[in-house]
Structure 1
């Protein structure tokens, strides 16, 4: 592998556009079947696949494509800690490498434009190029540069998100709406606050299959990190508020669709006073009013706020100091600061405080009925809308270079024109074995499979697909990671 190969590969960033979708399924086709065209990524190799019938209407495809030709380089980190920067910053790093007695390459990288974020041009500084078998040599160079005072990392080129030959290791589950007789559900495990493995959640519900759900909050207290980031509905109960406009999969019985959601929760005292509820089953910020349900599985914040315990009919059972668990069969309105003052004025013992909850489909502007069959899992990024690639990375909070361009393991969900469901995992971060996908590639892949709507769920080390009692993909952590929620495929 020559240095020129590396430079050309990096220059290919500009070709990753949201309109290049080779082998997309014809929109008029409604039958659910695995595509007969070549694999849509890289040089479009012919994939190999094996198929297993999981249950009536459910087929699992084990797909492999591509070959390993990527190697290693050493990437110099910028003062920000990122592996890229603006031209002047990158040029200064080239000078530092040269002062250490080594030769550096200054390489322009273009993060592709997506539906709601423009293309971004940045620069990377890299030293050397080694085959996949010579990682130890790359590590040796990294050590030398670190000893010279530079911050660097050994980098596998397959992770770049630029030109690659693969390989890819993919699991695809196709659930045919015409013959499937089960149903779909969401699970948060034993509680909202606690993280749990997909296999554990699947076992508890006797699921035929399951994949990990949406992103969970890693920026809260450690014991609360199972909290979903975005809308979560389990059996008709809103357990986490929507991030306005964020993609989600909405499931009702054996029907599933993809849309964007908004939610409003309002506390209404019997004296007519109203106050918006800022969140559901999460930490309270300054002056916020938060609703906690018995599914929360943790104590309310001990922040000198106020707790009002409500029974199922909204009657105020008791007022208490904050920092206690939610009693079984009850809900708690917790107020901090100004919200605490409101509770003290309008939520007296034996009064009634109605909690009005609305979940709205933003595509139709219609309210969703919170019935026991309704389940919702928030997605991370919209990928395909109405049969066309539409990557909403900024709206969904993931418009960084790392998230859009770099390759990672992916968990993907899509629906077809006839209402069938496609679940897929693309394993990654395993040099020489599987490279994962970036957002553009993930969108191309789901269109190839026949999805007319598709979103990205949580990925990375969270990516997991369970069939029966077995994890069928290869999580990049080397083992299954506890996650916030899971999408379950149930036998009835």
Structure 2
């Protein structure tokens, strides 16, 4: 059931609430003593909603404030157990025991340009769950979603480290394939799209969906035809056990890695023989932080150091989801806009950055929007979460991942 929000609140009134929570200095905001209380979802987790007078109409925002200093609070990646799979955020939150959450990264939602090729449902950017590296980023030209802001790429992540501090970062894949003839470069990990001329690895984390999409498109054109020069090698127990001329499908057993090559990568894989010893290594390396990530999710930054990124789109309005960082990384803000008809004009990306800054965030990150934008929370006494915004498609859209908030009193 979708939760109907109560009386609307002006943006300045609610911003006064978050002024107290985030320590922001909001010039001209209503005094905090006059502001309505936020709703406590769990210790360290609070919710509020408010109207925004945007350029193209009134938008309605739903916001979770999460105190990462609170020992009862944890955050993590919500996902359905496989990279190439989707489920609704309410289902993911309930199955993981989360008290609240929002949808996550953009994803491979359709394949109309490639007849006969299955859409994988896999996300665009890197993903880390409970410290485990699930996947790396697809090439920039293969992403789904709005155009990236200048200077950003698909490797960008929002994450929380093992030190319980939220950060914006980049996670870059470093990988190699050791063979009897030498070392090959690994340029993909559980990705729905591989760079041209490369080799990618698929593990049991991928799921059972066909790997054929990985060799379609180019680094600059997602809709370009699929490659006709492909090869696949299965490695179990450190040795090649089988090979095929095209990517296959079906579950991958634990301890098995499937190597998929296109163009030059396919030509390199054809040199491997069944029975040959092969060593596959991969890791995601953070560009900024030396602290391991407990969880990380893809999207793109819109606010850094308290300033919106240059070149943010200020024309196209839409229903959106975003994550923000306040109090030096010790507070996380999760925003999802309402998709009800009267609010569906939403915000531009530039307005999202401004809104997150007014909420006290110094850094903010755009997640998937439109029909994916969903915020769920568990009401007091409820057995599970419910949807607290109105998805613009009138029902929850299955998504590949999200950000979950957990309470352990």
TM-score by length of 1: 0.62
Partner in structure 2 of residue 103 of structure 1? none
CA distance in 1 between partners of 2:320 and 2:305 (Å): 21
Aligned-partner SS, 2:269:
helix
Q: Quick one: which of 345, 369, 388 aligns to 2:271? A: 345
Aligned-partner SS, 1:195:
coil
Q: CA deviation at 1:270?
A: 4.6
CA distance in 2 between partners of 1:357 and 1:252 (Å): 16
Residue 397 of structure 2 is aligned to residue 484 of structure 1:
no
**Where do 1:40-439 residues align within 5 Å?**
51-64=38-51, 162=55, 166-218=57-109, 220=111, 223-235=118-130, 236-241=132-137, 245-246=152-153, 247-253=156-162, 254-278=164-188, 280-284=190-194, 287-297=197-207, 298-301=209-212, 305-311=230-236, 315-321=238-244, 322-329=247-254, 330-346=256-272, 348-361=274-287, 364=288, 369=292, 374-380=294-300, 382-391=301-310, 393=312, 404-418=314-328, 419-428=330-339, 430-431=341-342, 433=343, 435-439=345-349
Whether the 8 Å contact between 1:30 and 1:417 is mirrored in structure 2 is no
CA distance in 2 between partners of 1:168 and 1:390 (Å): 22
Whether the 8 Å contact between 1:194 and 1:224 is mirrored in structure 2 is no
* Cα shift readout 1:18-72 (whole Å, capped 9, x = no counterpart): xxxx99x99xx995368876679xxxxxx98552111111111122355xxxxxx
Unmatched 5+ stretches in structure 1: 1-21, 41-46, 67-160, 394-398
CA distance in 2 between partners of 1:49 and 1:474 (Å): 22
Aligned-partner SS, 1:199:
helix
Whether the 8 Å contact between 2:72 and 2:407 is mirrored in structure 1 is yes
Unmatched 5+ stretches in structure 2: 1-11, 141-151, 214-227, 379-384
Partner in structure 2 of residue 32 of structure 1? 22
Partner in structure 1 of residue 223 of structure 2? none
Q: Which protein has the bigger helix share?
A: 1
CA distance in 2 between partners of 1:49 and 1:224 (Å): 45
TM-score by length of 2: 0.74
Whether the 8 Å contact between 2:176 and 2:183 is mirrored in structure 1 is no
CA distance in 2 between partners of 1:34 and 1:426 (Å): 22
Q: Quick one: which of 342, 350, 369 aligns to 1:440? A: 350
CA distance in 2 between partners of 1:268 and 1:30 (Å): 55
Aligned-partner SS, 1:273:
strand
**CA-based RMSD:** 3.3
Whether the 8 Å contact between 1:177 and 1:421 is mirrored in structure 2 is yes
Q: CA deviation at 1:256?
A: 2.0
Give the direction of change, closer, same or farther, for the CA distance of 1:315–1:193 in structure 2 (3 Å limit): same
Whether the 8 Å contact between 1:184 and 1:487 is mirrored in structure 2 is yes
